[in-house]
Chain A
């Protein structure tokens, strides 16, 4: 929610200094929509002591999304996708498949994309390809009674978890469709390559490739 307020504030600030027409060099654009983040998990084994082959899985999440784009040239864009923090459930897999939710974590990916937008600046339809970097910050990890029981925790000393913040890379394809000079719709799919490590207070850790598929759709305004 905070982010969307800031997007509007940023949009207002940008509106004051925008002169260019169409999505040409120097244009600023802001958009608001939804972003769906679906981890495609490949989990390592939880380190000892643990049941052999203990793995984790992560659930998907949809949040209010959007972003800000700056056209460096008529075709090259810098894009900062924004979204309210994602919340992902972590569940058991491998030898602990079926135990259900082990915990949850919130995640904020801070991302910068460099996009190449095809067609002329004034074209209505502009597909694009992008590459980017992301820094995923995980916080607010909350574990469950299930994890507590599985890891030998007690009520007095429950097992907690923390995820490492990590840099990742992204590849993206998407398009912009301009309804008119000002308004457009932006849709994209990004594959994120992101690996993190989950640490339990009971001493074990597990490396997890989250590699989320990111689907974003937003309505935007050019200033």
Chain B
């Protein structure tokens, strides 16, 4: 009996012995899809260093090894690819620039779907798309594109200027609309019943809607139709939540008399500006729909979620830019200088409780995310890529 129980114990011990052969976790980082090149088009959020730096807190180097990994670089890394800026320029208006054929990140800081001041320069995301298309797409490419945020910011700026009596920026947009579809402004004015402020709102919406259509059309024509099979497009984030627009809204509140009355006026404006962003996003979604090669990443919703529920994302500050203010722009808003806003300089800021004080802020300056914000963006894009079976 005793010997038999020993056998039973031995059987259990056998299980135990096998159990002991465990170990720590490992990782197989081979993505689901074979991606041999990552191609990027977009604005400052995606710029790997057109102007020699990135639009966030700088790492130990401004570009290349040791530099901060921005979101498309984190995505490229998952596929064992690295990125570098295709366009190189000394000045932000790109009056002159070089192209580096081996670099596949075409994104440029200040990039717009429709840069009215420089429509044929690489500041135009459409021009970037055409340049990438000219170089050619293959079935093994992953193409990631963002755009429209600066256009939406331009429109909001134009509306604010128009309300203050300067209609020039809005008129330029209306003129562009008329050049695309003659008679648009007359029709909109009729729709507005001659009310100038109503007309401004309608024109702003029509402008962004047309841009979204143009943007999506270019992606279909120059990317998907040219052989790309994996295209991720980010929509425009809720830019009204950025410090830049929160400052603008604060001044609107102040101008409206402050207090509850001012807050109500600012909230109303914020809602109407946000609605314009949604006009662009809804049109973009509608125009991109039905293409199995394209996944639309809902950056708008996720960004709002991050701002309203920061702890869930381990953000500890959703308001204050970490980079120091270095100047003031024409509209009285603070400006920042990314090349000198380095991780080392921020960590050395006197009077902070920890050198890591800035790490989990959302904003680097008043409009761009911190490196951690970029990580969150890459995680969001990763989710969409994985859901498509690409990562």
Q: Contact check, B312 vs A52: say whether CB atoms are below 8 A apart.
A: yes
Shortest CB distance B316–A (Å): 11
Asked if B25 lies at the interface with its beta carbon under 8 angstroms from chain A, I say yes
On chain B, the residues within 8 Å of A201 by CB distance are 25
Q: Which residues of B are found within 8 Å of A158, using beta-carbon distances?
A: 27, 29
Confirm or deny: A183 has a beta carbon within 8 angstroms of a beta carbon on chain B.
no
B382, A49: Cβ atoms closer than 8 Å: no
A137 touches B26 (CB 8 A): no
Chain A residue contacts of B311, Cβ below 8 A: 48
Is the Cβ of B32 less than 8 Å from the Cβ of A100?
yes
Residue A34 lies at the interface, judged by CB distance under 8 Å to chain B: no
Q: Is A62 an interface residue (CB 8 A)?
A: no
Q: Is B357 an interface residue (CB 8 A)?
A: no
B15 pairs with A155, CB closer than 8 A:
no
Chain B positions within 8 Å of A110 at CB level: 12, 15-16, 19
Contact of B31 among A13, A52, A78, A145 (CB under 8 A): A145
Q: Is the CB of A17 within 8 A of B18?
A: no
Q: Which residues from B are CB-within-8-Å of A147?
A: 27
Q: Is A96 an interface residue (CB 8 A)?
A: yes
Contact across chains for A17 and B4 when beta carbons are under 8 A apart = yes
Is B4 a contact of A28 with CB atoms below 8 Å? yes
* B22 touching A143, Cβ below 8 Å: no
Q: How far is the CA of A158 from the CA of B302 in the complex (A)?
A: 24
Q: Which of B370-387 contact A (CB under 8 A)?
A: 375-376, 378-383, 385-387
Chain B residues contacting A160 (CB-CB under 8 Å) are: 24-27
Task: Give every chain B residue within 8 A of A17 (Cβ-Cβ).
Answer: 3-4
Chain A residue numbers with a CB within 8 Å of B297 are: none
Closest CB-CB distance, B391 to chain A, in whole Å?
5
Residues of A within 8 Å of B78, CB to CB, are 145, 148-149, 155
Q: Is B349 located at the chain interface by the 8 A CB criterion?
A: no
Instruction: State which of B4, B18, B69, B382 has its C-beta within 8 Å of the C-beta of A149.
Output: B382
Report yes or no: A162 in contact with B312, Cβ–Cβ below 8 A: no
Cβ-defined partner of B26 (8 Å) among A3, A138, A142: A142
**Is A162 a contact of B25 with CB atoms below 8 Å?**
yes
Partner of B313, one of A10, A14, A49: A49
**Closest-CB distance, A184 to chain B (whole angstroms):** 19
Interface residue A70 (Cβ < 8 Å from any Cβ of B): yes
Interface of A, secondary structure class, is mixed
Say whether A151 contacts B379, CB under 8 Å.
Answer: yes
The size bracket of the interface on B is 35 or more
Closest to A112 in B: B12
CB nearest to B31 among chain A residues: A145
The reply to whether A80 and B25 form a contact with Cβ atoms under 8 Å apart is: no
Determine if A146 and B11 form an interchain contact, defined as CB atoms under 8 angstroms apart: no
**B residues 2-51 touching A (CB-CB < 8 Å):** 3-5, 7-8, 10-12, 14-16, 18-19, 21-32
Nearest chain A CB to B345 CB, angstrom units: 24
Contact B22 A149 (CB under 8 A): no
Chain A's nearest CB lies how many Å from the CB of B266? 28
Count of residues in A whose CB is under 8 Å from the partner chain:
56
Nearest residue (CB) in A for B382 is A149
Q: Given A137-B19, A146-B386, A150-B383, are A10 and B10 also a contact pair (CB < 8 Å)?
A: yes
| Segment 117-169 of A: residues with Cβ below 8 Å from B | 135, 137-155, 158-162
- The answer to the question of B389 belonging to the interface, with a C-beta cut-off of 8 Å to chain A, is yes
A108-B18, A149-B382 known; A139-B8 Cβ under 8 A: no
Q: Which residue of the partner chain, among A2, A14, A92, A103, contacts B7 with CB atoms under 8 Å? A: A14
Q: Say whether A39 faces chain B, with CB atoms less than 8 Å apart.
A: no
Given contacts A48-B313, A51-B383, A149-B385, contact A138 B24 (CB under 8 A): no
Q: Please encode chain A, from 8 to 41, with 1 for each CB lying within 8 Å of some chain B CB and 0 for all others.
A: 0010011001000000001010000000000000
Given contacts A110-B15, A110-B19, contact A155 B77 (CB under 8 A): yes
- B74 interface hit (Cβ, 8 Å): yes
Q: A110-B16, A145-B29 are in contact. Are A68 and B24 (CB under 8 A)?
A: no
Question: At the interface, yes or no: B305 with Cβ under 8 Å from chain A?
Answer: yes
B1 within 8 A of A: yes
- A150, B25: Cβ atoms under 8 Å? no
* A161, B309: Cα distance in complex, Å: 26
Which residues, 56 to 99 on A, are CB-close (under 8 Å) to B? 68, 70, 78, 80, 82, 85, 92, 96, 98-99
Q: B126 interface residue, CB < 8 Å from A?
A: no
A160 and B32 alpha carbons, distance in the complex (Å): 18
Q: Which residues of chain A have a CB within 8 Å of any CB of chain B?
A: 2-3, 6, 10, 13-14, 17, 26, 28, 48-52, 68, 70, 78, 80, 82, 85, 92, 96, 98-100, 103, 106, 108, 110, 112, 135, 137-155, 158-162, 201
Given A145-B391, A153-B27, A162-B24, 12 additional A-B pairs, CB 8 A = A3-B14, A6-B11, A14-B4, A48-B314, A70-B4, A139-B19, A145-B32, A148-B29, A149-B75, A149-B383, A149-B385, A154-B74
Sample 28 A-B pairs with CB under 8 A, ordered by A number: A3-B18, A10-B14, A14-B4, A48-B314, A49-B312, A70-B4, A70-B5, A78-B8, A96-B383, A100-B389, A106-B22, A108-B15, A110-B15, A140-B23, A140-B26, A142-B26, A143-B26, A145-B30, A146-B391, A147-B27, A149-B75, A149-B386, A150-B386, A152-B375, A152-B376, A155-B78, A155-B80, A158-B29
Chain B residues in the interface with A (C-beta under 8 A): 1, 3-5, 7-8, 10-12, 14-16, 18-19, 21-32, 69, 74-75, 77-78, 80, 302, 305, 309, 311-314, 375-376, 378-383, 385-387, 389, 391
**Which 4 A-B residue pairs are closest in the complex by CB-CB distance?**
A139-B22, A149-B382, A49-B314, A160-B25
